[in-house]
Structures are given as structure tokens and as C-alpha cells.
């Protein structure tokens, strides 16, 4: 099976770009961040202390994360329940940023990600896809943009959803998540030497998609 691996920091537009690339190729797109957010939902519901790794490890033994593609759309399941509607909230942003740094959390879903990529041609986006999950992929891309631009995009996304948020709050969160992602001991966010890096700061979404499509190897 073929894969396109796309990494990048928070707010860079990975999800939107990856879905459009997948649509152009006639493939499905796996948003791996949704898997970590599903674990965050489990942590929130269980009211555990996410800074206590033993509590998190104990919870991991009691949950099962799964993914199904229905009409081309990813649905993420927690113990059989479709939790997709609960994943994109400020609370899940914060919780998943902390819990995804744990080795045990990342290891709990890496097999699922690889299994899905073995079953079909797939565009996979996340933070450690090119460096860890699908490091042997022939198509590896790293999207980047300035923190200011990423905060602007995330702010617009939240406002368009009807949420009341402050730009500075989102900017500060972006900076904090960048720090967490790049300094964590397990699978930190990096641009690998064999990844094509695309600075999206001054590019439209369609321009980013076109840049990726023209560099994909399908043989």
C-alpha cells in the first residue's frame, strides 16, 4: 500500500490540506490527532489526574480506540462510542497536548495507525508520522508557518464555529504546544532529512495541496 505522511505543528492546517490531498488521490485521510483526543476524552470522563502517568496507564488498559471511514469521513471510536463530535474543544487541546507526550499513550495507538496504513492507500497526518509511525513512506512532507499565522488560522476556525475566544489566548497556546511537541522525549516533532518542507505562511490552502501533489511518488 502507498502512503503520504504529513507532519507539522499545531494550527498549520495539516487536517484541511491532508483531506484535500486525499480527496485528489481518491484515498482516505487519517487524522492521528483524533486518536490522541479520544484518549483525552477518556481521561476527562474518568476525571483522572493527567499529570499522574500511573493513572493514565491504568486508564489505557481499560479503553479501546478504533477508526472507521464512513462516506469518506473519519469517525473515531472510544470503547465502541463515536466520540468524533467531542474532540475539537479547548479542553481536548490541552489534555491531549499533555497525554500525547507519554510513551505509553503513543505506543497504545501506533499499531492501529500502521495497521490502517497497511490495509489501504492512505494520507496520514500528525506530529510524528514521518519520523516514527510511517518513517519508511516514500512521500513525506513537513508543513510549517509562523506562530502568528497559525494562531490567526486557529482563531478564525474557532470564531467560525461560534466560539468566544481571544487571539492572544490561542497564540499563547500555540507557543506552549510548540514547546511541548518539540521537546518531548518520545517522538518529538521534527522535520526529517527526507521530508519535503513547505512554509505555508504566505500560501493558500490550494497552493499547499498543489505543492504536495506534484511531489508525490505513486510508483
Task: Provide DSSP, 7-25.
Answer: E--TTS-HHHHHHHHHHHH
160 within some domain: yes
Res 93: pLDDT: 87
Query: Is 119 annotated as belonging to a binding site?
Result: no
**Around 130, how many Cα atoms within 13 Å sit in the side-chain half-sphere?**
22
219 within some domain: no
Q: Parallel, antiparallel, or unpaired for β 122-126 and 28-31?
A: parallel
pLDDT band at 215 (very low <50, low <70, confident <90, very high): very high
Query: Is 22 annotated as belonging to a binding site?
Result: no
Spatial separation of the C-alpha atoms in residues 211 and 219, rounded to whole Å: 18
Bridge partners, 31 (sequence order): 125
The CATH code of the domain that includes 178 is 3.40.50.300
Res 167: pLDDT: 97
Query: Is 26 annotated as belonging to a binding site?
Result: no
Number of domains, the chain:
1
Q: Which of 98, 127, 93 is CA-nearest to residue 110?
A: 127
Phi, psi of 126 (to 5 degrees): 180, -145
| Tens digits of residue pLDDT in 32-89 | 999 999 999 999 999 999 999 999 999 999 999 999 999 989 999 999 999 999 998 8
| Tens digits of residue pLDDT in 79-127 | 999 999 999 888 998 899 899 999 999 999 999 999 999 999 999 999 9
Query: Is 13 annotated as belonging to a binding site?
Result: yes
Q: Parallel, antiparallel, or unpaired for β 73-78 and 196-199?
A: unpaired
Query: Is 146 annotated as belonging to a binding site?
Result: no
Res 90: pLDDT: 82
Query: Is 38 annotated as belonging to a binding site?
Result: no
Query: Is 80 annotated as belonging to a binding site?
Result: no
| DSSP symbol at 127 | S
Res 33: pLDDT: 93
The sign of the CA dihedral 120, 124, 130, 132 is negative
| Tens digits of residue pLDDT in 153-164 | 999 998 998 989
**Around 192, how many Cα atoms within 13 Å sit in the side-chain half-sphere?**
22
| Tens digits of residue pLDDT in 165-199 | 999 999 999 999 899 899 989 999 999 999 999 99
83 within some domain: yes
141 within some domain: yes
Spatial separation of the C-alpha atoms in residues 145 and 178, rounded to whole Å: 12
The range of the structural domain enclosing residue 202 comes to 3-213
218 within some domain: no
59 within some domain: yes
203 within some domain: yes
Res 156: pLDDT: 94
168 within some domain: yes
Residue 209 in this model has a pLDDT that exceeds 90:
yes
Query: Is 16 annotated as belonging to a binding site?
Result: yes
Q: Which of 16, 1, 39, 2 is CA-nearest to residue 125?
A: 16
Cell triple for residue 42? 477518556
Query: Is 76 annotated as belonging to a binding site?
Result: no
Cell triple for residue 215? 511531489
Separation in Å, CA 20 to CA 82, 116, 190:
23, 19, 23
Q: Could you give the residue ranges of the DSSP H alpha helices within 47-139?
A: 53-60, 90-99, 103-119
Q: What is the mean pLDDT of the chain?
A: 96
Amino acid at each position: 500500500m502507498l502512503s503520504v505522511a504529513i507532519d507539522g505543528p499545531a494550527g498549520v492546517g495539516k487536517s484541511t490540506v491532508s483531506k484535500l490531498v486525499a480527496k485528489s488521490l481518491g484515498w482516505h485521510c487519517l487524522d492521528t490527532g483524533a486518536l490522541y483526543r479520544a484518549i483525552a476524552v477518556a481521561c476527562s470522563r474518568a476525571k483522572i489526574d493527567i499529570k499522574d502517568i500511573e493513572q493514565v496507564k491504568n486508564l489505557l488498559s481499560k479503553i479501546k480506540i478504533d477508526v472507521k471511514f464512513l462516506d469518506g469521513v473519519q469517525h473515531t471510536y472510544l470503547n465502541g462510542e463515536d466520540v468524533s463530535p467531542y474532540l475539537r474543544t479547548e479542553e481536548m487541546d490541552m489534555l491531549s497536548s499533555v497525554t500525547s507526550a507519554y510513551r505509553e499513550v503513543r505506543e497504545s495507538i501506533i499499531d492501529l495507525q500502521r495497521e490502517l496504513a497497511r490495509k489501504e492507500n492512505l494520507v496520514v497526518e500528525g506530529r510524528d508520522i514521518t519520523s516514527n509511525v510511517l518513517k519508511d513512506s516514500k512521500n513525506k512532507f513537513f508543513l510549517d508557518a509562523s506562530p502568528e499565522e497559525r494562531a490567526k488560522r486557529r482563531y478564525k476556525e474557532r470564531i467560525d464555529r461560534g466560539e468566544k475566544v481571544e487571539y492572544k489566548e490561542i497564540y499563547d497556546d500555540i507557543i506552549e504546544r510548540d514547546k511541548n511537541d518539540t521537546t518531548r522525549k518520545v517522538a518529538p516533532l521534527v522535520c526529517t532529512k527526507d521530508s519535503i518542507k513547505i512554509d505555508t505562511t504566505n500560501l493558500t490552502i490550494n497552493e499547499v495541496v498543489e505543492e504536495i501533489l506534484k511531489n508525490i511518488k505513486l510508483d
